[in-house]
Structure 1
Amino acid sequence: MKLFQAMMSRRRFLQTSTAAGAVGATAAGVTGLSGLTQSTEARAARPRGETKVTKNICHQCPARCGIDVYTTNGRVHAMYGDTGNPIANGKLCPKGHLGSYFLYDPDRFKGPMKRTNPRKGRNEDPGFVPISWEEAFDTVAARLNNLRERGESHRFAHFYGRGWGASDAGLYGDFGKLYGTPNSAIGHASMCAEGSKKAKHATDGNNSYNAHDLRKTNYLLIMGASFLEAFRPYNNMMQMWGEMRSKSPKTRVTCVDVRMNPTMAASDRALYIKPATDGAFALAVAHVILTESLWDRDFVGDFKDLNQRFRTGERIMPGSFDEKWVHGLTEWWNEELKDRTPEWAEGITGIPARHIRQTAIEFGSTRPAVAIFERGPTGHTNGTYNGMAIHSLNALVGSMFTEGGLFYQMGTPYGGLPANADDYLDDYARNGPWKSQPRIDLARTAEWPMTSTMMQEAGPNHLKGTPYKMDTAMFYSTNPIWTAPDPKAWEEALKDVFVIDTSPFPGETAMYADIVMPESTYLERLQDSPTYPFEGWPMSALRVPAIDPIYDTKHFGDMLIEIGKRINGPTGEFYRIIDNVENVLRHRAKGFENNPGDNGVRDFESWKEKGVWYRKPYHWRFIRGDFYEWEGQRYSKRMTAAEVKQKLLRTPSGKFEFKSGYLEQYADYINKELGVPVERVGLVQWVEPRHTGGNRDLYFVTPKTPMHAEGRGANIPHAAAIHQPVAGGRGTVYLELHPDTARSRGIRNGDKVKITSDLGSIEAECRFVASHRPDTIILPFEFGHWAQGRWAKDRGPGHSGELTANVSDPISGLASYYTGKVTLTKA
């Protein structure tokens, strides 16, 4: 009744309508109507302050999309994709709008602090008390100077996660050689995606991620890459998906994965594969491409006798195939590929042979076609060989460095620093005892000779005292107590290490800190960012502070410079010349004077104004059998074989290698670690994975979700809200499993379950997903924090990392996050 009383009556509605019509009539020049007044002019609300737009770079993932940040009266209130940034193109993914949550997070550290409680542990209050920046810098520098005086500077280690450019991680190398430590710096790539880089290093000589020309790709084979969830650059990948799927001809997509995900759901063909068997699938596809004569003659070559063919089970005579830009094809076929039929692969992968054959024929007969992969195939002990097999498909169909194919990112032509570090080396830096010490993670030693970094080993190595004990560790943009496999090892390791944490947020590693030096959030700092592999041509964006820091925080690069100024000897002199991050970037931007960007950027000020420097096109292209270099108007300079080897195919042979000369240099090591016969080590081949968990019956896979925001998604309420209908409720994320898997164990949809590995058990709430493999259970890698802030802390389920054994691919060093086996019972 009250509702109806509050509503307008029919009579009043008609009266109002009549009056409105009369006003319209008067306005139109009709007169003689009484009782009516002219309506007032409609006006927009007046702005309540001055609004400025600042160029910046999103920090929610590695994509590095340019953003326009809107600030009114000193408060950030909106972010949009920068229309002038080629990655963003005026668009953002759902994560891109979360920057203000980071900036105004009430759980942020407000300034530098020191620990007062000497005990460290999950249930220990650090007893942080505020200190000045001067005290923080002096404390750290005094500790480092003391180590150097004792000849123990190697016991200081830098650890970093998402390094961005010359103004932060780019400063590490000089710091390490000036101060004197082999541990500056240890990056997180071995806990990220190092496997795909190493697979390419072994086959085409480039230890890097691929750039792509997806706009012109006509067939996409996606293997464990989560293209529509986490593939880099994520925002742009979604844009490219729209272009590929709406152009003519439409790009056909086959997705191979262990679980249903957005990419699988949107593909033309979805193939469910047994975890760690991607290499077998790729070898069978390669077998069909060759037996069906679908390979690209311009890149691969051809038989000297054109009547000869590849036939299943039959060897070909050495010397009968005239290889062009590939090396080892004949031996690869004879020693590995001739018997790798789709029927053979079906028994390993679980994918029907007819689907493998059909995929191979489509992929091999469509130009250009690209095969992409990431951590799905490589997050296992056989990961590098899996990746090599997949990447070999790109060579077979001639997609290397072609239009619509894939290539590698060009670097930014930065100017030099205001001083050269080599001019400030003292005797200790040149010949001190640190020179004979290995890295704490033992990367690039006999233990891990092929790896670039092994962050996951540093904590356990410290516990063992092998090769030595750390004294002091500084963490930038990484949180190994949560992100490393078996993170409890790090909890023990850092109890007797002096820890310096620079995160803006109270993560698990920060709870072990002795000194907290909080960095400003990305909306408050000046920072450069050369792009991750994108479309090949060079590009570098710039973060410009939207506002001054709202708390007493600093840029990490400035922290490192300030500590450097306090190091005794010529190191301090060097950093006093470097001065600060802005000075670094002004000097780096001088490189643009002779290399102006396509958008007019030619110095620091125009870089700040535009937010990005880039220069098209990509400089090299493979065209009808030869490599050409860009000469200002077109690809007209034919490259010599020596130039191709130097710039593009950087292998020992100067060609794409199906028998890897790089791997052959480590034949004894690979034989020892993986059991591959010495004479076969270099071949792209099938290698059995070694799953952790022994005889346990379920594969345990922990993918990142689209809302995984650089490890901070769990403490962002808006991100949790987006997660809720897809991956979990307000208090948890669901364990996803096939209904048959659950029912055979007496588990109902929504039950609490216990997941057990060799390391222990965690509990979760289950949800039935009939489109998953019955032998694979899925727990998104997002929640399970015991720190990180009020919304993240103690939100279920248990942390998946605590079930993940610290086992890695011996070749790439990539942690085998997806290779564990577990048991599942009702809780």
Structure 2
Amino acid sequence: MGIIERIFQPAVSRRRFLQATAATGAAATVVGGTTLRETRAQAPAAAAAETKITKNICHQCPARCGIDVYTTNGKVHAIYGNTDHPIANGKLCPKGPLGTYILYDPDRFKSPMKRTNPNKGRNEDPKFVPISWDEALQTVADRLNMLRDKNESHRFALLYGRGWGASCAGLQGTFGKLYGSPNVAIGHSSMCSDGSIKSKQATDGNGSYNAHDYRNTNYLLLMGCGFLEAFRPYNYVMQMWGHMRSKSPKTRVTAVDVHMNTTLAASDRALMIKPGTDGAFALAVAHVILTKGLWERSFVGDFKDGENRFKAGETVDPELFQEKWTRGLVEWWNIELKDRTPEWAEGITTILARDIIATATEFGSTRPAMAIFERGVHAHSNGILNGMAVHSLNALVGSLFAEGGMMYQMGPSYGAMPVDEADFMDDYAKDGPWKSQPRIDLKGHEDGYLMANNMMQEVGPNSLAGKPYKLDTIMFYLNNAVWTAPNGQQWEEALKELFVIDTSPFPGETAMMADIILPDHTFLERLQDAPTYPFEGWPLAQLRVPAIKPLYDTKYYGDTLIEIGKRMKGSMGAYYKELKDSENVIRHLAKGFEADPGDNGVKDFESWKEKGVWYKKRYLWQQRNGDFFEWDGKAYAKPMSADEVKAKLLKTPSGKFEFRSGWLEAKADWIASKTGRDRAKLMFPHWEEPQNPGGGDMFMVTPKVAMHAEGRGSNLPHAISLLQPVMGGRDQAYIEIHPETAKQRGIADGDRVRVKTSVGSIEGVCRLFEGVRPDTLVYPMEHGHWAQGRWAKGRGPGHSGDITVNQSDRITGQCNYYSTKVTIEKA
């Protein structure tokens, strides 16, 4: 008998099985007057297990992976990646299967509730009591009707986090228009990655995140993006990493960050940069690309006589250069780049000049190549300049809209809403006194953040200060601003004055300050649409189908908003009564697929529900060797005119990639007056020293980690145990500090330490790690909750937000999470 047979020896051999069945067939053994076979037949049979597979979308990060949810006898017991979903491809990251923990979290809210303790604060028990949905919804509607009757509807704000689709976050804009408030709704983007969005708005005219063609790229320059930790879409990125690093030619990777993480460890070149100096590095890379003549001439343009005149320290006559799809390259060189040598950048970034030259030479001579950045680059006071500098590298090597390069995401072919909001706008909605009121966050205001998309981090502090007014009522969806905002102590004080409505399924910090809880379903209980986050460019829309009926007396947020709307006076109430419910919205969205069926056969609501995803697997445009083409049904063969490129792809004032930003130039006077920047160069990517508030002598960075689930993982034991794999944190997150830095401060490995800034202090346990820069403290931000559930509460270290100064980039509105400097000492 071989080893396989010995290990996997069957309990009953084939011979023994045949002998047994022959014997029982030939002579029936009588037991109590019946055969054994008959006795078994008469015994009550166990109910057959019924397992169904439901299509859904993971809710553990923005990736929006399609999942198959396995439910047996009404209980969800397994989650796998949907093999027919283009992002998941049958795979999930470590967070994906933990959706069952979310569903069965014992600390979930189980019904609507109202507060009975008028006092609010960290140590105050809300003394919630359950109420009916009718009472809860009517309470909210009565308050909103009251504000509208008093011409104070602007004092109602609705704040939301990671919104999903037209059936939830998409309903909020209409609610604000019909009700009459400039503060409905305010998104979280300024506390996420608006610095990235605005950097691209300034240069290529697309205020959005990039989609990427990882399959065909040959070089990645990764800057502060946590590519293998948390970059979107995370699951797909990991799949593509395996492809890129095993294909021929192998994709070469240079990773730049402030500490050693998975991405740096797996890269070909790992560079640890001084926080906030990424722009200096990118400017030096651009300098080398130009002086070495490595730019993509078919896209950028060239000197008319073919002679390269980009020489360090020397200006160039703009008349000698003929630009093609770029604007202002020679001006940028003359005003900034000519002096930004690798040696100069070494003094700023602490990265050796030889490494800058090597990176620039590789990046500039490899096609196709991409430079990708995120918060590590733009979450500083100089963030937009850093981001513009990095993104300009993509233009220099011609990667925009090219194979193996980057593009922007197309939207799905949704049908029209079931009701037209324009038919229900009363006089108050059209021209009420709320129209003259600024937003509470001062977004779009001359004295505030004129060019920002959102300024959520300013809502609490502004209301508290009465600038420009105090709010009365505030509602939250997928948002825990008290905990996620910098200097959240100000939010705690602000919410003590307000009537707070929270829709979270979980008892987070904001919920503990709430007056009314309208608990949402968890994602495995919802019917919800969700277009993709930027992916490969071609349109894709998923459908979240409930795996089981709601466990508790909760309600999908989209329906909560509709039900409040139905209780509003006048034409607004009539609109929501006609809208009916969120399922009606989703069914109308799916009507668009009738005219434009998906490549997987999805053509209506039922087939969308069955497959879980609709997509059209072709991006419609491509730049090839400096010419733009549109897909004609068979190939990229239809040439595009300059006007078409401007309308569809490079949406800048010039219709080109702008090193000299027309968008910034149009607001140059305002920018110069509010930021103190030089009017002559503020529209170019240029170097500017970051401002570091806090009063300390060390940088503090709180990077995302693979198990960070946007706040949803903090009460999941399994996620907690795997949060910080390098440092070994199980019951807490460790503060990482360089051994030499610790030695200078008399700190030993495992010591309890205190980290302080001008706005507060926290305590935690430190670990010595040579993979951290000597001038930087690093620790994940997932812990430090004083609410959120039994496993989250009180888990160390203290929350980083308590010591983060609320500073923002005046142009992008980006919250400068990584700019605060801290002091560390033994506790």
* Separation of aligned partners in 2, 1:349 and 1:113: 52
1:212-261 deviation line (CA, Å, top 9, x unaligned): 00010000000000001110000000001000001000000000000111
Q: Is the 8 A contact 1:215 1:244 kept in 2?
A: yes
Paired position in structure 2 for 1:95: 95
Change (3 A) 1:134 1:330: same
- The count of corresponding residues between Structure 1 and Structure 2 is 799
Paired position in structure 2 for 1:480: 481
Report the CA distance between 1:668 and its aligned residue: 2.2
1:498-528 deviation line (CA, Å, top 9, x unaligned): 0000000000000011100000000000000
> Per the alignment, in what secondary structure is the counterpart of residue 230 of structure 2?
coil
Q: Is the 8 A contact 2:631 2:638 kept in 1?
A: yes
Q: Which moved more, 1:548-557 or 1:300-309?
A: 300-309
1:386-407 deviation line (CA, Å, top 9, x unaligned): 0000000000000000000000
Paired position in structure 1 for 2:411: 411
Paired position in structure 2 for 1:6: none
Report the CA distance between 1:688 and its aligned residue: 1.3
Look up the equivalent residue of 2:556 and give its one-letter code.
H
* Separation of aligned partners in 1, 2:11 and 2:500: 74
Paired position in structure 2 for 1:348: 348
1:357-378 deviation line (CA, Å, top 9, x unaligned): 0000000000000000000010
> Per the alignment, in what secondary structure is the counterpart of residue 593 of structure 1?
helix
* Separation of aligned partners in 1, 2:111 and 2:728: 34
Q: Which moved more, 1:301-310 or 1:344-353?
A: 301-310
Report the CA distance between 1:47 and its aligned residue: 8.3
Paired position in structure 2 for 1:787: 787
Look up the equivalent residue of 1:280 and give its one-letter code.
A
Q: Which moved more, 1:525-534 or 1:676-685?
A: 676-685
Q: Is the 8 A contact 1:280 1:345 kept in 2?
A: yes
Alignment of 1:254-653 (within 5 A): 254-446=254-446, 447-653=448-654
Report the CA distance between 1:727 and its aligned residue: 4.4
Paired position in structure 2 for 1:177: 177
> Per the alignment, in what secondary structure is the counterpart of residue 54 of structure 1?
strand
Q: Is the 8 A contact 1:500 1:514 kept in 2?
A: yes
Q: Is the 8 A contact 2:475 2:501 kept in 1?
A: yes
Q: Which runs of 5+ in 1 are unaligned?
A: 1-15, 30-39
Q: Is the 8 A contact 1:59 1:710 kept in 2?
A: no
* Separation of aligned partners in 2, 1:22 and 1:217: 55
Look up the equivalent residue of 2:88 and give its one-letter code.
A
Look up the equivalent residue of 1:220 and give its one-letter code.
L
Report the CA distance between 1:307 and its aligned residue: 2.4
Report the CA distance between 1:690 and its aligned residue: 0.5
Is the aligned partner of 1:821 residue 2:821? yes
Report the CA distance between 1:710 and its aligned residue: 2.1
* Separation of aligned partners in 1, 2:622 and 2:731: 51
> Per the alignment, in what secondary structure is the counterpart of residue 162 of structure 2?
coil
Look up the equivalent residue of 1:246 and give its one-letter code.
S
Change (3 A) 1:676 1:51: same
> Per the alignment, in what secondary structure is the counterpart of residue 680 of structure 1?
coil
Q: Is the 8 A contact 2:291 2:308 kept in 1?
A: no
Report the CA distance between 1:208 and its aligned residue: 0.1
Change (3 A) 1:434 1:302: same
Report the CA distance between 1:730 and its aligned residue: 3.4
Report the CA distance between 1:725 and its aligned residue: 4.2
> Per the alignment, in what secondary structure is the counterpart of residue 145 of structure 2?
helix
> Per the alignment, in what secondary structure is the counterpart of residue 718 of structure 2?
helix
* Separation of aligned partners in 2, 1:356 and 1:219: 15
* Separation of aligned partners in 2, 1:639 and 1:299: 14
Look up the equivalent residue of 1:492 and give its one-letter code.
E
Change (3 A) 1:305 1:725: closer
1:639-673 deviation line (CA, Å, top 9, x unaligned): 11111111100001100000101011221232234
What is the TM-score when the length of structure 2 is the normalising length? 0.95
* Separation of aligned partners in 2, 1:587 and 1:418: 6
* Separation of aligned partners in 2, 1:145 and 1:583: 26
Q: Is the 8 A contact 1:727 1:780 kept in 2?
A: no
Q: Is the 8 A contact 1:732 1:796 kept in 2?
A: yes
Paired position in structure 2 for 1:54: 54
Report the CA distance between 1:27 and its aligned residue: 7.5
Report the CA distance between 1:413 and its aligned residue: 1.4
* Separation of aligned partners in 2, 1:130 and 1:749: 47
> Per the alignment, in what secondary structure is the counterpart of residue 184 of structure 2?
coil
Report the CA distance between 1:84 and its aligned residue: 0.8
* Separation of aligned partners in 1, 2:17 and 2:99: 48
* Separation of aligned partners in 2, 1:723 and 1:771: 17
Paired position in structure 2 for 1:217: 217
* Separation of aligned partners in 1, 2:136 and 2:307: 76
Change (3 A) 1:385 1:22: closer
* Separation of aligned partners in 1, 2:725 and 2:635: 50
Report the CA distance between 1:726 and its aligned residue: 3.3
* Separation of aligned partners in 2, 1:96 and 1:815: 28
Q: Which runs of 5+ in 2 are unaligned?
A: 1-5, 20-35, 37-44
1:107-153 deviation line (CA, Å, top 9, x unaligned): 00000001111111111111111110000111111111111111000
Paired position in structure 1 for 2:705: 705
> Per the alignment, in what secondary structure is the counterpart of residue 229 of structure 2?
coil
Alignment of 1:642-791 (within 5 A): 642-694=643-695, 696-723=696-723, 725-791=725-791
Q: Is the 8 A contact 2:722 2:730 kept in 1?
A: no
* Separation of aligned partners in 2, 1:727 and 1:468: 46
1:471-509 deviation line (CA, Å, top 9, x unaligned): 111100000110000000000000010000000000000
1:782-806 deviation line (CA, Å, top 9, x unaligned): 1000000000011111111101000
Alignment of 1:237-252 (within 5 A): 237-252=237-252
1:444-464 deviation line (CA, Å, top 9, x unaligned): 111110101000000000011
* Separation of aligned partners in 1, 2:47 and 2:369: 52
What is the TM-score when the length of structure 1 is the normalising length? 0.95
Look up the equivalent residue of 2:633 and give its one-letter code.
G
Moved over 6 A (4+): 19-29
Change (3 A) 1:569 1:22: closer
* Separation of aligned partners in 2, 1:698 and 1:553: 45
Look up the equivalent residue of 2:737 and give its one-letter code.
L
- Percent of aligned positions with the same letter in both sequences? 66
Report the CA distance between 1:728 and its aligned residue: 4.8
1:58-106 deviation line (CA, Å, top 9, x unaligned): 0000000000000001000000000111000000000001111010000
Paired position in structure 2 for 1:4: none
Look up the equivalent residue of 2:52 and give its one-letter code.
K
Change (3 A) 1:698 1:48: farther
* Separation of aligned partners in 1, 2:347 and 2:73: 65
> Per the alignment, in what secondary structure is the counterpart of residue 764 of structure 1?
strand
1:310-348 deviation line (CA, Å, top 9, x unaligned): 111111112110000000001001111011000000000
Q: Is the 8 A contact 2:708 2:723 kept in 1?
A: no
> Per the alignment, in what secondary structure is the counterpart of residue 319 of structure 2?
coil
Change (3 A) 1:21 1:801: closer
* Separation of aligned partners in 2, 1:802 and 1:137: 33
